[in-house]
Homo-oligomer: A and B are copies of this chain.
Amino acid sequence: MGSRRPTDITLGVADILRPRGITFIHDTVNEVQPDALKVCTETSEYEYDYLVISTGPHLSCEEIPGLSPEQGFTHCTFTMEYAVKSKEAWNRLLEEPGPIVLGSTQMASCFGPYYELAFEMDHELRKRKMRHKVPITYLTSEPYVGHMGVGGLGKSKRFMEDEFAELDIKTVTNQSIDEITPDEIRLAGGGTLPFKLAMLAPPFKGVAGVAPLGNPRGFIPADNHYRHPDHANIYTIGVAMALAPPEPTPVPTGVPKTGFMTVRMAKAAAANIAADVQNIPPTYEKELSVVCLMDMGRTAALMVADPVLPPRQKSYLKKALWAKWAKIQFEKYFLWKMRHGYSRLP
C-alpha cells in the first residue's frame, strides 16, 4: 500500500556480517558437488566443510502461461522488483477502479501474505471511499479459506469466511489456474475471472542450482536435525527444505515456511553443526511451530500453531488492535536487530 519504501526494509548484508568474520558472496549457484565438497557459482567455486542451503523459492511462473510478473498481467510481492511493480499497478487501479483478483495458484506454499493483501486492499479502498467500485475476489488452490496450506488453524476456516463475508470479499476456492490473459484468469474447471488488477502467489519450486539434491520439485529433504539424509554435512533450512503437507488437497498446495520458522531452523542447524564440529550428538530436534502476526488493515491477527501441522498441542487465532501494534513494533525491533547484527537481544 506504499507505507514502506524499499530502503526501509532492505539491509546491507555484507556489511552487517563482516564484523562477525563472515564473508557474504552474492552469486548464482550453478551446481553443488557434494562428493567434492564444492559449490560452483557463475563466477567461481567454493569449497566447504559444511553447507547450509537456505535458498528460498524459485517462483515457478513458467508453469502457468501469463503468470510471470515480467509480462505484467499479474503481480506478486515475492521480490523487491515485483513488489515495486505491484505498487505501480495498485496506483493505476486507484485511478481506474475495477475488479481485483488475488490469491494463490496451485503448488503455491505461501498463503498468509495474500490474506493480508486482501485485508489491506479492502481497508485502503474504504479509506478512499471507493470500495464499492472495486469488487475483490480471493482465488485460491486451498480447499477452503483459512486452510493456509496447513489444514487450517483452529477455527481459521470460519474466521476467514466470516471476515471475508463482512468485508464483501468473494472467495473462489479449490481452483487450479490454466492460463492468464491480460484481463482474465482462466480456471482449470472452465470458469474465468476478469480483473483489472491481479496478484497471485506463483507455484513454488526449489532453486535450480541446488534442485538436484532435492525431491522432484527441487526441495531439499532433511532429517530431524535439518541434515540432508544422504550428505551428513549438508543442512537445509527455510523455504528450500522439503516439508510434506499434512494431507493431500484436491488442488495441490504446499506447506508455508515462514520467516519465524526459518529463523528457528537456522538456529537449530547452527547448533547442530556446532555439535558436529565438537563431535557430540546434535541437540536440536526438528520441532516446527509458528507464531504469526497477520496484517488485517486497521487490525491484525495473532496466529500460533504448535506444531505447524495438525493435530496440535496448541493453536490460537485472535484478531485484535493490539496485534496490529505488535506487528509494527516487531517490525521495528526485528529490523533494528538485523541492522546491528544481533541474532538475539544483546
Contacts and interface: CB of A to CB of B under 8 A. Distances in A.
B165 A311 contact: no
A165 B136 contact: no
A287 to B, nearest CB: 10
A150 to B, nearest CB: 11
A190 to B, nearest CB: 18
Interface string A164-183: 01111000000000000000
Residue of A130, A162, A168, A306 ringed by the most chain B CB atoms within 10 A: A168
A282 interface: no
A81 B214 CA distance: 54
A129 interface: yes
A157 interface: yes
Copies of this chain present:
3
Contact of A311 (B132, B155, B161, B306): B132
A42 to B, nearest CB: 44
A152 B130 contact: no
A134 B311 contact: yes
Interface in A198-242: none
20 contacts: A126-B313, A126-B314, A129-B313, A131-B311, A131-B313, A132-B306, A132-B307, A132-B311, A132-B312, A132-B313, A135-B310, A135-B311, A136-B311, A152-B165, A154-B165, A154-B166, A155-B165, A155-B166, A158-B161, A168-B312
